């Protein structure tokens, strides 16, 4: 097995590997500027605008030059809940790009960035991360997209964690794709199964028009009724023991959610426990007609390859047990970590394969919340995480042929989000895990529309955006008024549903025309949407065997198709996560010059187009 460092991709590779564009700014004439010193300060120690020319010592012990501010002064949110509010006059009702001029010069080497709340007209819109920039002067930070009413509005920055200096903000008209939704018309996997393509087409058809209801089940060792049925030789109902949340929703609203969240956290080779999660996935789709989404809290050894205790949290999070497992080493052949994740992936593929073989599509969400760095897959930074995600995708899709998966990447709206993005060719949906209950104890029905539209902008509207986890479900009024077009919501289990959602609001949204519930989903057996043409190539008849050699079969799966071209493009582009077996290297040398190189790729693409015959 060979691995190579990621380098600049050739033009041929770019055909197979996409990029994540960022929208261009508006013309200068459309930009409106508002000074924070003209606004109001609440709960700030420095209750008036300030004009300090220097901060004596920043978070790293250095002085910070504060000169060069705009207008007469600037403001300082200098303790928790301190708020700076500016009145903004918008020329028309609509969406606007928001930029904030700031200096953030406090912090520590491990966590120098600071996060603050964004509010528009008193409603929470999510969070804004202000990167440490001491010594770099006043900088404009793209803070997302907000919906403003024509005329006067209030935009507030409220301190959540850490201190920040604020100079001014600007608004400018947002790009059209923020409201004219037109996501990619097919899944990222060109060989997606018919069931996955149908589900994707359905979700695309309702995106921006409705929100689907979802609910995460409580997982664990509580299969008492199922075990009793099994022992008595009775038909097994896999959806009989994990139903507390679903029974609560039924009693409160008279409805059931369209989407069921299921966690595969017990399916690992370190401390395995088989809780029938795959069987519940199948039953939810086949017996109930619902949509399953699978999360994978990936449990790995806590301390070395011989550990029999598993964990997914890292040290310093306050959770025990914790692990020191290396995401960087996990994709390096020859390491014990790579051996371990390959064993885990084989087990995971076997369990997910049950759904594939039953014709069940899955919204699959691995390596979630990576940027928070509290899970091992995000603890070593974006490069290690992206490499691991691509490795997992490659194994599950190209080696184990789990074409029933639709892939969700759980991201953020921080200034670093692009560094963590695996790439358009590996992602079908962008997900947000929303936990913003007031004091972690009271419902917060905000639709966080600024977060939604910032995530839409990250892929220029190409990926649908979901609320993959949440505490309080956004209220119906906020969703509609703020035009936050989340594809679905999915509260976490127990108190996140029952304690952080007002029962009246829960019933209101579940019974509304805007919300799609289980009984309103199509019959998947008869649902027949118009699908775009399949872009994958069927195994070509022009390939020939030469002993054990099958020219063009780069992934060594006994067929030659577009998967092989994608893998070859990544390999010759020096993608560290793309590996070839010894036989795969023999097959990849399609021009028979004794080596695998970029010159093999055009010939393979011509063969797939049936323009040439491989020898």
pLDDT of 478 reads 94
Whether 335 maps to a domain, the answer reads: yes
Cβ-contact 604, 580 below 8 angstroms: no
pLDDT of 221 reads 52
Looking at 487-609, list the stretches that DSSP marks H as alpha helix, in order from N- to C-terminal side. Answer: 495-498, 503-510, 562-572, 582-588, 600-608
Whether 216 maps to a domain, the answer reads: yes
Domains in the chain, number: 3
* Cβ neighbours of residue 123 closer than 8 Å, sequence gap 6 or more: 446, 447, 478, 482
pLDDT of 234 reads 84
**Among all chains, which residue has been given the structure tokens 């200034």?**
415
Transcribe 78-126 into DSSP letters.
-STT-EEEEEEEESSSEEEEEEEEEE-----SS---EEEEEEETTEEEE
Which of 174, 205, 225 terminates a domain? The answer is 174
Tell me: do 460 and 593 sit in the same domain. no
φ/ψ of residue 26, rounded to 5: -80, 165
Block means of pLDDT (10 residues each) for the chain, 615 residues, are 29 29 44 97 89 89 93 93 96 94 85 90 90 93 93 96 92 87 94 97 97 91 71 85 93 98 96 93 97 98 94 95 97 97 98 97 98 96 97 97 98 91 97 90 92 93 97 96 95 97 98 98 96 62 50 82 82 73 83 83 80 75
Cβ-contact 122, 114 below 8 angstroms: no
Tell me: do 451 and 474 sit in the same domain. yes
Helix (H) or strand (E) holding 293: strand 291-296
Helix (H) or strand (E) holding 456: helix 449-458
Tell me: do 124 and 192 sit in the same domain. no
From CA 380, how far away is CA 382, in angstroms rounded?
7
pLDDT tens for each residue of 137-157: 999 999 989 999 999 999 999
pLDDT of 73 reads 96
Structure tokens at 586: 């023999």
Sign of CA dihedral 311, 315, 321, 323: positive
Tell me: do 101 and 235 sit in the same domain. no
List, in sequence order, every residue forming a beta bridge with 74; answer none if it has no partner.
50
From CA 262, how far away is CA 243, in angstroms rounded?
12
Contacts 24+ apart (CB under 8 A), 124-128: 124/436, 124/444, 124/446, 124/448, 125/446, 125/448, 125/449, 125/450, 125/451, 126/413, 126/434, 126/436, 126/446, 126/448, 126/450, 126/451, 126/454, 127/160, 127/413, 127/436, 127/451, 128/100, 128/157, 128/413
Tell me: do 514 and 548 sit in the same domain. no
Whether 613 maps to a domain, the answer reads: no
> What do you get for the CA distance between the two ends of the chain, in Å?
24
8-state DSSP, 395: I
Which of 157, 174, 191 terminates a domain? The answer is 174
Whether 547 maps to a domain, the answer reads: yes
From CA 162, how far away is CA 416, in angstroms rounded?
18
Helices and strands of the chain, counted as H and E runs? 16, 25
Pick from 196, 349, 229: nearest CA to 278: 349
Tell me: do 160 and 189 sit in the same domain. no
Coil, strand or helix: which one is 4? coil
Which of 477, 495, 520 terminates a domain? The answer is 520
Tell me: do 164 and 241 sit in the same domain. no
Whether 615 maps to a domain, the answer reads: no
Sign of CA dihedral 263, 268, 273, 278: positive
Cβ-contact 425, 139 below 8 angstroms: no
Whether 80 maps to a domain, the answer reads: yes
Tell me: do 476 and 555 sit in the same domain. no
CATH number at residue 564: 1.10.1330.10
* Cβ neighbours of residue 490 closer than 8 Å, sequence gap 6 or more: 214, 215, 216, 257, 259, 261, 293, 466, 467, 468, 469, 470
From CA 215, how far away is CA 468, in angstroms rounded?
10
Contacts 24+ apart (CB under 8 A), 276-281: 276/223, 276/226, 276/238, 277/219, 277/351, 278/351, 278/352, 278/354, 278/355, 279/238, 279/354, 280/217, 280/238, 280/239, 280/242, 281/354, 281/355, 281/360, 281/362
* Cβ neighbours of residue 104 closer than 8 Å, sequence gap 6 or more: 113, 114, 130, 131, 132, 133, 134, 162, 163, 164, 165
Tell me: do 153 and 198 sit in the same domain. no
Three-class DSSP labels, 210-251: EEECEEECCCCCCCHHHHHHHHCCCCCCCCCCCCHHHHHHHH
pLDDT tens for each residue of 50-106: 999 999 888 888 899 999 999 999 999 988 889 999 999 999 999 999 999 999 998
Whether 528 maps to a domain, the answer reads: no
List, in sequence order, every residue forming a beta bridge with 515; answer none if it has no partner.
211
Whether 241 maps to a domain, the answer reads: yes
From CA 425, how far away is CA 18, in angstroms rounded?
6
Pick from 219, 196, 504: nearest CA to 363: 196
From CA 202, how far away is CA 183, in angstroms rounded?
12
Enclosing domain of residue 597: 11-19+537-608
Tell me: do 132 and 268 sit in the same domain. no
Pick from 213, 220, 212, 279: nearest CA to 244: 220
CATH number at residue 228: 3.20.20.80
Cα-only R_g, the chain: 26
Distances in Å between the alpha carbon of 239 and those of 223, 242, 283, 478? 9, 6, 7, 33
Structure tokens at 414: 């921080």
pTM of the model: 0.79
CATH number at residue 155: 2.60.120.260
8-state DSSP, 314: B
Tell me: do 558 and 511 sit in the same domain. no
pLDDT of 576 reads 61
Tell me: do 167 and 38 sit in the same domain. yes
């Amino acid at each position: 097995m060979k691995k190579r460092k990621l380098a600049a991709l050739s033009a041929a590779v770019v055909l197979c590997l996409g990029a994540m564009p960022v929208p261009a700014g508006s013309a200068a004439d459309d930009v409106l500027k508002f000074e924070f010193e003209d606004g109001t300060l609440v709960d700030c120690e420095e209750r008036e605008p300030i004009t300090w020319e220097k901060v004596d010592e920043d978070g790293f012990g250095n002085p910070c030059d504060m000169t060069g501010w705009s207008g007469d002064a600037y403001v300082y949110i200098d303790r928790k809940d301190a708020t700076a509010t500016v009145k903004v006059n918008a020329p028309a009702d609509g969406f606007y790009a928001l930029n904030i001029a700031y200096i953030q010069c406090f912090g520590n080497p491990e966590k120098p960035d600071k996060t603050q709340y964004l509010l528009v007209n008193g409603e929470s819109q999510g969070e804004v991360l202000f990167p440490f920039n001491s010594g770099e002067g006043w900088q404009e930070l793209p803070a997302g997209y907000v919906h403003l009413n024509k005329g006067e509005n209030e935009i507030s920055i409220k301190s959540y964690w850490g201190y920040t200096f604020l100079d001014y903000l600007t608004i400018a008209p947002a790009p059209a794709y923020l409201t004219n939704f037109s996501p990619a018309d097919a899944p990222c996997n060109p060989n997606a199964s018919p069931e996955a393509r149908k589900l994707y087409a359905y979700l695309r058809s309702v995106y921006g028009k409705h929100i689907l209801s979802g609910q995460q089940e409580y997982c664990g060792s509580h299969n008492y009724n199922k075990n009793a049925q099994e022992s008595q030789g009775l038909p097994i109902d896999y959806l009989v023991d994990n139903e507390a949340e679903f029974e609560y929703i039924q009693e409160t609203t008279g409805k059931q959610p369209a989407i069921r969240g299921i966690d595969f956290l017990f399916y690992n080779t370190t401390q395995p426990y088989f809780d029938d999660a795959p069987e519940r996935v199948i039953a939810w789709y086949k017996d109930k007609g619902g949509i399953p989404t699978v999360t994978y809290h990936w449990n790995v050894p806590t301390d070395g390859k011989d550990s029999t205790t598993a964990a997914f949290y890292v040290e310093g999070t306050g959770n025990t047990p914790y692990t020191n497992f290396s995401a960087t080493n996990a994709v390096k052949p020859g390491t014990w970590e790579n051996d371990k994740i390959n064993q885990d992936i084989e087990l995971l593929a076997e369990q997910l394969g049950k759904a594939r073989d039953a014709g069940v599509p899955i919204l699959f969400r691995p390596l979630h919340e990576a940027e928070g760095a509290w899970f091992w897959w995000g603890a070593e930074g974006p490069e290690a995480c992206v490499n691991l995600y691509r490795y997992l995708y490659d194994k599950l899709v190209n080696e184990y042929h789990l074409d029933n998966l639709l892939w969700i990447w759980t991201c953020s709206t921080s200034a670093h989000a692009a560094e963590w993005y695996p790439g358009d060719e590996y992602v079908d949906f962008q997900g947000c895990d929303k936990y913003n209950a007031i004091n972690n104890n009271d419902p917060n029905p905000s639709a966080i529309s600024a977060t939604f539209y910032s995530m839409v902008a990250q892929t220029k509207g190409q990926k649908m955006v979901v609320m993959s986890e949440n505490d309080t479900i956004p209220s119906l009024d906020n969703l509609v008024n703020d035009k936050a077009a989340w594809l679905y919501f999915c509260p976490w289990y127990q108190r996140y549903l029952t304690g952080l959602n007002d029962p009246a609001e829960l019933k209101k949204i579940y019974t509304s025309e805007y919300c799609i519930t289980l009984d309103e989903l199509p019959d998947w057996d008869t649902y027949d949407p118009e699908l775009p043409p399949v872009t994958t190539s069927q195994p070509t008849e022009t390939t020939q065997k030469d002993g054990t050699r099958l020219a063009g079969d780069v992934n060594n799966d006994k067929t030659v198709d577009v998967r092989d071209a994608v893998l070859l493009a990544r390999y010759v582009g020096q993608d560290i996560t793309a590996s070839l077996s010894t036989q795969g290297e023999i097959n990849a040398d399609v021009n028979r010059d004794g080596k695998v190189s970029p010159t093999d790729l055009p010939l393979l693409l011509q063969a797939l187009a049936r323009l040439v015959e491989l020898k």
